[in-house]
Amino acid sequence: MKMIVAVVRDEYASHLTEALTRKGFGATKLASTGGFLKAGNTTFLIGVPAGQLDDALATIKATCPAKRSIKGDLTFAEGALKSAAANPGQSAPGAVDVSGATVFVLDVERMIKV
Ligand code: 2BA
């Protein structure tokens, strides 16, 4: 069994919930906040049989496309953004590329329901 921990942009959370439910996956949603942008996101805990991991990951990929995020007040992250601006090909100041989902996959020793 595997545990998927997926930090998802808030705007995709309900679509992902629907897609997972349609496919019979169980999920728990937690309200979370990104450490850098300090904006709300949603963290999904999805326990899946190992054989269904790829299907669950494909579902996340299909429903959570990456996007550029423009944020007015990035002064708290000024240093990091200046360094990005100094490197061609990276984001301009005031904008960062935010993944649709940041996904971690963990091994689960046991799942028990009582
Ligand atoms: P945030 O921490 O708010 O980060 C939003 C976006 O800001 C990141 O997008 C990245 O493009 C940029 N960013 C983050 N830290 C940065 C830094 N120190 N310098 C320059 N730019 C930085 P993503 O990487 O797609 O991350 C989206 C969200 O996923 C994050 O929101 C955070 O909530 C979560 N996340 C990302 N990496 C993580 C990790 N290693 N562990 C736990 N959560 C993570």
pLDDT at 87: 59
What residue owns the CA closest to ligand 1's atom 39?
102
pLDDT at 98: 85
Any ligand 1 atom below 6 A from CB of 35: yes
What residue owns the CA closest to ligand 1's atom 35?
102
The low-confidence residues of the chain, meaning pLDDT below 50, are 76, 78
pLDDT at 37: 86
Q: How far apart are CA 35 and CA 52, in angstroms?
A: 31
pLDDT at 88: 55
91 burial type by CB count under 10 A (0-12 exposed, 13-18 middle, 19+ buried):
middle
